[in-house]
Structure formats: C-alpha cells, structure tokens
Amino acid sequence: MTCYFVIVGHNDNPLFELDVKETGKLDDKRQMAQFVAHASLDLVDEAKFLKSVDRFNELSVAGFVTASHMRFILVYDGPKAQENMKNFFMDMYDAFVKALLNPFYVPNTPIASSNFRKKAQVIAKKYL
Amino acid sequence: RPNTYTDVNMGPKPTITYHDDRALLNAAMQKRLQNRLKQLQSSSKDGSSNTFSAFCDGFKFVSFESHQRSNSEQCIFEKPLLHTFWNATSDVEEYRLRTKPQIVQWLSDIEKLGGCAECLVVFCITAEVRAAKKKVKGQGDVEERLRNDFKGRVIVAFRLSSSNDNRLADSLQSFTNILNDMCFSCMEQLTEAEAKQLSNSKDEIPLPNFYSFLVRQINLAVAFEMILHNSDALEYFNAASCLLEVTLSRIAKTNESVVWLDRIASNPCTSWDYPSLIETNYSWKYLPAIEDGSCPLLHIRTFLLSRQARLLFALDKGWNVSQTCISTLHAMSRERKELKVLQAMPVGAVESWAYMTCFEAIQAIMMQSNPDSLMSAASSFLHVRAELWDYAHEKLRTLGVLCGLMPKDNCKTELIKTIQSGITKRAELAGFKEQSSEDHGQNLISLLQNQQAFKTSYLTLGEMVIGAYKHAGRKRMAFKAGSMMAEFHKDLGLWVEAEQLLSDVCSYYSEDQWSHLFIKAYSLLAECQNKLQMEDKYVSTMVLLASVPALNIIGHDPVIWMDKIMQISKKSVYQKLLSWEPLMVLNKIVLQGNKTVYSIKDEIIAEVDLKYNGPKEMKVAIASMTYSAVSSVLIKQTSPSGPTTAAKSELEELNLDNGADTLSHSRPIGMSSKRYRSLDGGGSGRSSDSKQKVFEFYLTNRQVVLQPGHNKIILSGKANALGQYTRSKISLKSGSLDFILPLLDDDNSTMISIEPCKPGVAVSFDSDIGVFLAGYPLMCTLSFQAGSGTAIPSKSKAIVTFIGACEVKLLAPVKHTATNDENQTEILLELPEVLPSATLSIPLTVFVPAACVITNGIDPLNEVPIVLALCVFNTCVHRFM
C-alpha cells in the first residue's frame, strides 16, 4: 500500500517527507509517489483547497494549501474517507504551525526535527 | 432470461398490456400508435413536458395473457404502466353477455396481479359501432352502458372510422396523449415508490445482497432517465458507480469471497469495447446481462459510464464527463489489480478499454458540449484534454510493455491478437449508423500491429501530452511526461532527443530539490551524455550526482560517480571548468587578523571554510583565491615624443629614457613595472593598440585533500602591486577539473588595500632666479611632491616657517594663515589633495627686508639662511587612485 505525505515550501522544495508505510529501502514505489506528488503541484496550485486533486493509475493525490501557501500533498492508493483526510491535514497543519514557532527553525527550509516526524507518524497512523 | 428489447440499440420501452380478442390492436394499428408516440418522445428533450425519452423509441405492447403467464420478476421499467382492454362491441346483448363479464374478469385479474398500473378500457368506434349508434337512439348504446357499468374507470372512445379525416386524426392524437400521460404518471409513481424504498434500505446492506441492491439502483436510474428526470437519473447512476467502487474496495481489503462477485468474475470477458459516449444507445445491450449478473465487471462500468455521460451532456455539464471518466478508469484499473477474482480477465483488456475511452471522452466533449460553453471554458478544456491524453499515454505504455512492443522487447503476437479480437470496429456493431466520430477501436488495432506503428503512436501522443500540459500551464506535469518520453527515446537509441528532453526536465528538478526525481533524471541524463560523448556535460552531471548522498535509494551510489569523475579527470587532455555547487558549499572566508590594510611586503593569510559534499576524499592539486584590483586600466601605446598633458580616463605609456618625470595627473596603482600617464579622453590620435589589464594576485595552497563534510583550507600569498583589491573567485584544481566559485561583492565589503611601507613626500622650495635677494620681493615656488604610492589628502596641514621677519604672499588659491613676529614668519597651509606621483606647486613671493639681515650681523652675500621649511602633515592617509 502506498501512502506518502510531503510538505512543499514556497520554492517548490520539499520541507518534510513521510512515507507512512516505511519499509526501509526506498524503492520504485516511493519514487513513483514523489513523481506523482511533484506533478500534482500544478493542480494543488489551481485548486487551493482540500480536495482530491489528481490521480495517476491507482494512485490518488489529495492536497491542502495553508494560509502561507505551503502545500501539503498526500499520495495514496485505495479509497480513503474524505473526513479522515481532512482531519489528517488539519492535525498536520497544527503540528506544522507549532514547528514554525520554534525560533531555531528557519522558514522554508527542511524540517529535520525528529519530534515533528514522530508527531506526523502518530497522526498518519490515526487517520490513514 | 429473454432479452425483452426488440431493438438491441434502443433503450427500454414503456410497456402497455392489451386485452383484445378482435384484433383491433393489430400490427397496422400498433404502427400508427407507435409513430405518434415516437413523435411525442422526440419532441421533448428535457423534463418540461410529460413524455418519455427518445431512446425509448415508442412503446411496447404486450398481450395481457402473456403478461399473466410470465413468471419472472420484472424490474421497474419492465412493469406494465397501463393495462388496456380493447373492444368494439356494437350489439348491446353481446356487450351484456360477453364483453361485460370479460371486463370484470380482466379487472379482477389485474387486481390479483397488483401494481400501480392504471386500467383503460378502449372503446373503438368502428363502422359497425357507428351504424349501431344510429339505430339505438334513445335506448342507450354500448358505449353509454359501458360507461355506466364501469363508473370510476377510465374509458376512452377511440375513433377508427369517420367520414371526416380530421376527426380521425384528432382522435388518434388525443388517444395517444392519453396513453402517454397515463403511462408517464404511472412511471412517476413507480419511481417515487422505488426511490423511497431504496433510501430506507440503503443504510444496512449485507454484502451478499449488494448486487441486487445495485441492480435496483441502476434500474431506478434507467426509469428516471426514461421519463427525462435527468438529474435524478444521474444521481442514481453516480450512486451506483460510487457504491460499486467502495464495495469492491472493501472486498479487496478483506479478501472475502462473495457469491455475486464470483459469478460476475466467472463471466468470460470476450469484448472490451469502449463506452460510446456519443452514440450512447449502444450501451443498452449490456443492461439485460447486468440485471442477470451475467456480464463481466467491465461491461457494468461501460454501461454506467455511457449513461452518466449522456445525462451530463443533457444537463449541460459536459465538463464533468472527463472527471467521471477518469474516476471510472482509475477504479477499474485498481479493481483489476486488487481483486483476485478479476485476475482471470484477459491481459491488456482493461488497458485497451481505458486507452480508447480517453479519446472517446475528448471527442464526446468536443462534439456534445454547447459551443458557447466550450469557448468560454477553453482553459478548462485544455486541462481536461491534457489529463485524458496523459492517461491514455500511460495506458498505451502499459500495453506496449505487456505486448512486447517497447524498444528491445520481443513482440508477443498471441497477446496482441487476443487484445485485437476483443475490440469491435464500429462499422461491425449491430445497428451501426454512419457516424462522423473516429473509431478508436480501429486506431488501437492498427497501432498494435507492429513495433514501428506502436512507436510512432507512442511518440506522437507523448508530444501531444507535453504540448497540452505546457499549453495548459502545468509545467510539472509536462516535465513528468517529458521524463517518461526521454526514457522511451533512450530505449530506442535516440540519445540526442532523450538528452534534450532530460536537460529541460533536469533543470527543473534541481531547483526543486526532489531527490528521487533528481537522481533518476540526472542518472538518465548522464547515460545519454556519455553515449553522445559530451564529456564536459557528462562530468557536470556526474558532479551533481556525486554530491547527493546515497539516501537509501536503490541504484544510486555517489562513490561510483565520484570514481568516474576522477577517471576522466586523469585522462582528459584539457581543463574543464566546473561550478563549485553543489559538490562544495562555501561557508565563510576569514582573513587572518581580520585586517583590511596590508603593506606590500605583508603575507596575506586567509582561512576558507567550506563543506564538501562528495562521497569520498578528493585531492586538490592547487587551491587558490584570486584578488583583483578594484579599478582596471586602459593602456595605450604612444610614440616616445615626450610627455603631454592628459586627462584622467586613459593612459599613455611614457618613454622611461626621457628623464622627464613631471606628472600632473593620477596614475593607477599597481603598475610597478611600467609608468603610464593618462591620455586625453578624446584621444590624442597617437594611440594604436589598447587593451584591458586587470591586476591580480593569488593566495594559494597546494596538495589539499578535501574530506567529506567541513573543511578548512589555509591560503596564503603576497600582493605584487599596490592598490585596492577585492576577491573575485576561488578555484580548486583537481586533475583536469577546475572548480570555480565566483565571489562577487557588490558593496566592496571584502576589499583590502595594499599600501607602501612608508609614505613618500618630497618638499622643495626654489627661487625663480636661483638666489634670494634681500630688499626685493622674489617669486618662489613651494612644491609638495607625492611619491608613486602616496597621496596627500585634501585639507592636510603644512607649516612653513621662514626665519626672520619676511613677508610671504601666496599667489595660489591655497588656504593659509600667516603669523609673523620679528624672528620668524610662520605660514600654516591647508593643502588640497595631491595625487600619487603628482606635485603641488604653490607660487609665492617672499620679501626679506634688508634691515633684518644687517641686524643679525650676517654677511648678506653668503649663506643667509632665509627659509627653514618645516612641514608637518597632521593627516596622512594613504589613498590610491
């Protein structure tokens, strides 16, 4: 099962990536997920709100744009309840805002905090 | 279960039963009625009038006896909507003894059958009846008795004979309207009741009963569509499609065995025609099998998509067709992959079906959409088209892989034939009508013929996709398509095209820092450049790859790239200039002591802090940092005819043998080996060659080894010329590779000055006549000459003391104050700026009274010390031109 989450910064740079079903070795599926997520930025920019923005074969893409134009992209396969995805994005947004409040974090740079990663994994497990 | 549709391409028809033992409703009569009813149906396309949809193409007349005998359960739209009893009894006794009991029995049978269908007694006014009416005046004719006996029932007189044709026509029209209205009303009731039932039961549907529930939904949607309630019909079709997708997904997750799914999966899938979204009537052929559960899943999806498309166009929502189409294609693809029971489907069937459907959708949108809305939503159409083409392209690629049509694969002829056999050409379809739309089945069959045909189609479609996305403003998707096309070109051996596509793609990815995409794209690019022997670009690409850590990515080993770079570095015959980043990142440069001013003899030491991102150590033969002079000098050659006056902007080389050393203008610092003076800005006409010369010096270190991570390199050197310098670049040379990092400081914040060890100023005081005479004002010149490396700044102070009570008058506009007493005269001068190698000459007059000399007892003719010039410069800042 594929479930890949990425936060994309203002310069289209990925700030945070999470493979919900981490298997260790990053294989073609992960690469395909990144491929699809990157391409779907076109649609997220147009959509500007949470919805299912794109599909590629069996992979679907959901997007969420924050007030500061950070893009949250979720690439997944299989049907997922809209409500669950919305809750996931909201909780991730909450965690992201808290990460931004860290005075040592430079905005628009990769989020390396292990704490944030753990939070993301917990949220993903809860809703996805 | 018999196929109850008389015409395979026509939809279900509203059903009317008839009880007729006099053959009143014969073939000719039915034909007349059908023509009239078809007219009614085709006259209205929306739900504004109570007519049935044109696809019904008339009504179906079924004898009441056969309806009674029929044991099979009928779906909602097959149920009779009206029961008719036809009679043309002219004799009252016959009516009393025979017809009336028949009607009573008929009504009783209808009641036993149940249902909400109305009953209609049709009293046909034939010629016999007309004649009988004339005879039975005042005694009540059959019609009158009929109406009296069956009050509350609907009884219609239908004129079959008349002296006036208009009356016949009116009667036919009125009769068919009644038929239509009664059937319509009944269908509305049926659909309402069914919708209510379904909404009550949809919350808890056990999985084994799901399929029957699904079929009920589909049938209800069809019934709504029949009565032109398009919104309701679409709602139920969408619900059915969604429910099917969700249920199948649930089954795939839980992997449970379900009877109805097993049955569907066991139905052999021998055809995978694409849903006709233009001639949607073709889809009706699937409906009986769907109701039976005797068709494959692909046909269910085909049917649903056709109906949804037709309704969307009818509701002027043609744009949603693409979204519905894409959703369906994705769902089918996923189900095929995830459901084990569907694994028996022929390989390539779903891909072929999806490929053809994409083109059909684009064509349908173009042909069926309102032209005005098409124009106004042109940009949406661009997006839609790009998405569908992209999906088709992806499916074509999959087909190519499956059938062995990709480059370097072997053709799988058997599979190709199987796939082709499941596609029906439009012209061969039953009920085919000449149409203007393209036959996508035929196209697919043709391109699967051989590798050449496949390659042409794949490349053409790929270019269309890239162009469409670019046109639609979706760059990233265009690049995604470009990546896949590049791979195909590479496999075909079209290295140049692949390299061009990848160069575009790679430039985008490097900005975005998407590591996987970056690595894959650049690896391919490196392969192409190596093949094309583009050594410079190949090395640049490898440098980029070597700087990315392994990241646990399969197939990516930066050490291997680094080794290749080093091999080329050793073998290459000419230097390659490469950028530092991303292999090396400069953190900071610190000059030892943080000094900005150095004397010409000082050694300058700089510490360069950099991060080396390579995977292993790299030996650098020489590391250097270049300091360039702040100003440059334009040199012009001149004939050795002597010095001339000059302006500041240009220089003239002087003949050093001339001996003349009077320079009245600035001279750039650093040119210690030659002497120049400035030329007239307009050009003296004597110059021949001119060239730009930039003065530089280097701080260097040799045999540096860079280790992965942070490195500090100490560079040292000495300036070879005076002046102001700013650092211009850092270079690291390793074999034939020169890694250059330009350092551009716009505000000169890193400027350093190289100054002489000590300032050089010469002061001279001369008399015009060579001697001093007392009692006579003498013209003299006080000169301040700055050395080649020294400048006297403006407002420097000089004190000149004259022994004795002299009168000194300055003839030049130099600020000064004089203090006199009987022993000395002191002049305090505020000097203007004196540039290096320039001389400030101040003419003045000095008057020494003779009496002063005699008073001191000095021989007036010998060694009279008149002047002692003491120059004190209270500021001495070194500046350089």
- For A40-78, what is each residue's pLDDT tens digit? 888 777 765 555 667 666 678 888 888 888 899 998 877
Give the A window 22-51 contacts with B, CB below 8 Å: 24-28, 30-31, 34-35, 38-43
Q: What pLDDT score does A21 carry?
A: 66
More confident residue, A44 or B709: B709
Share of chain A above pLDDT 70, in %: 82
Q: What pLDDT score does B651 carry?
A: 36
Distance from the Cα of B333 to chain A's closest Cα (Å) equals 7
pLDDT at B673 over 70: no
Q: What pLDDT score does B436 carry?
A: 61
Q: Are B739 and B580 in contact (CB under 8 A)?
A: yes
Report CA-CA distances (Å) from B828 to B777, B802, B816, B817, B873.
20, 11, 5, 5, 11
Amino acid identity, position B529: Q
| Interface check B146 vs A, CB under 8 A | no
Residues paired with A51 in a beta bridge: A63
pLDDT at B665 over 50: no
**Token digits for B488?**
């195909």
**Token digits for B184?**
């319509």
* pLDDT bracket for residue B686 (50, 70, 90): very low
Amino acid identity, position B103: I
More confident residue, B510 or B737: B737
CA distance A111 to A95: 12
Interface test with A, best of B254, B390, B476, B509 (most A CBs within 10 A): B476
* pLDDT bracket for residue B458 (50, 70, 90): very high
More confident residue, B568 or B850: B568
pLDDT at B832 over 70: yes
Q: Are B142 and B98 in contact (CB under 8 A)?
A: no
Mean pLDDT of chain B: 80
* pLDDT bracket for residue B465 (50, 70, 90): very high
Q: Calculate mean pLDDT across residues B246-251.
A: 88
* pLDDT bracket for residue B754 (50, 70, 90): confident
Region at B607 (left for phi over 0; alpha for psi -120 to 50; beta for the rest):
beta
Interface test with A, best of B334, B519, B551 (most A CBs within 10 A): B334
Most confident of B198-212, B310-324, B861-875: B310-324
Region at B199 (left for phi over 0; alpha for psi -120 to 50; beta for the rest):
alpha
Distance from the Cα of A34 to chain B's closest Cα (Å) equals 7
Q: What pLDDT score does B868 carry?
A: 47
**Token digits for B529?**
């450049």
Q: Is B267 exposed, middle or buried (0-12, 13-18, 19+ CB in 10 A)?
A: middle
| Interface check B520 vs A, CB under 8 A | yes
CA distance B545 to B169: 86
| Interface check A77 vs B, CB under 8 A | yes
**Token digits for B158?**
């239908």
Q: Phi and psi at residue B802, in whole multiples of 5°?
A: -105, 125
Q: Are B776 and B655 in contact (CB under 8 A)?
A: no
CA distance B91 to B95: 6
pLDDT at B269 over 60: yes
Q: Calculate mean pLDDT across residues B575-588.
A: 84
Amino acid identity, position B123: F
* pLDDT bracket for residue B694 (50, 70, 90): low
pLDDT at B357 over 90: yes
Q: Is B113 helix (H, G, I), strand (E, B) or coil?
A: helix
Using CA atoms of B790, B791, B795, B798 in order, give the dihedral in degrees to the nearest 10: 40
Amino acid identity, position B811: L
**Looking at B128-142, B170-184, B481-495, B508-522, which range is the least confident one?**
B128-142
CB contact under 8 A, A30 and B516: yes
CB contact under 8 A, A14 and B246: no
More confident residue, B142 or B664: B142
Q: What pLDDT score does A95 carry?
A: 92
Q: Phi and psi at residue B236, in whole multiples of 5°?
A: -75, -35
CB contact under 8 A, B554 and A28: yes
Question: Residue A116: enclosing H or E segment and its boundaries?
Answer: helix A114-127
pLDDT at B221 over 90: yes
Q: What pLDDT score does A53 carry?
A: 67
Q: Phi and psi at residue B293, in whole multiples of 5°?
A: 75, 25
Q: Calculate mean pLDDT across residues B310-329.
A: 88
Q: What pLDDT score does B518 carry?
A: 82
What's the pLDDT tens digit per position in B641-663? 333 333 333 333 333 333 333 33
pLDDT at B750 over 50: yes
CB contact under 8 A, B517 and A58: no
* pLDDT bracket for residue B877 (50, 70, 90): very low
- Count helices and strands (H / E) in chain B: 25, 27
More confident residue, B74 or A94: A94
What's the pLDDT tens digit per position in A21-47? 655 555 667 777 888 888 888 877 776
Of the candidates B330, B338, B513, the beta carbon closest to that of A13 is on B513
**Token digits for B51?**
């007519």
- Positive or negative, the CA dihedral B416, B417, B419, B423 is positive
Q: Are B429 and B274 in contact (CB under 8 A)?
A: no
Q: What's the pTM?
A: 0.71
Model ipTM value: 0.74
Q: Is B464 exposed, middle or buried (0-12, 13-18, 19+ CB in 10 A)?
A: middle
| Interface check B557 vs A, CB under 8 A | no
pLDDT at B807 over 50: yes
**What DSSP assignment string belongs to B737-771?**
EEEEEE---TT-TT-EEEE-SS--EEEEEEESSSS
What's the pLDDT tens digit per position in B392-414? 999 999 999 999 998 888 889 99
DSSP state of B54: G
Q: Please, where are the H alpha helices in B158-255?
A: 165-201, 210-226, 230-254
**Token digits for B797?**
């102070």
Amino acid identity, position B539: V
**Looking at A76-90, B16-30, B438-452, which range is the least confident one?**
A76-90
If one counts every other C-beta atom within 10 angstroms of the C-beta of residue B116, the result is 13
Share of chain A above pLDDT 90, in %: 19
pLDDT at B11 over 50: yes
Q: Is B712 helix (H, G, I), strand (E, B) or coil?
A: strand
* pLDDT bracket for residue B382 (50, 70, 90): confident
pLDDT at B245 over 70: yes
* pLDDT bracket for residue B351 (50, 70, 90): very high
What's the pLDDT tens digit per position in B622-632? 999 998 887 54
Show Cβ contacts of residue B516 under 8 Å, excluding neighbours closer than 6 positions: A26, A30, A31, A34, A35, B553
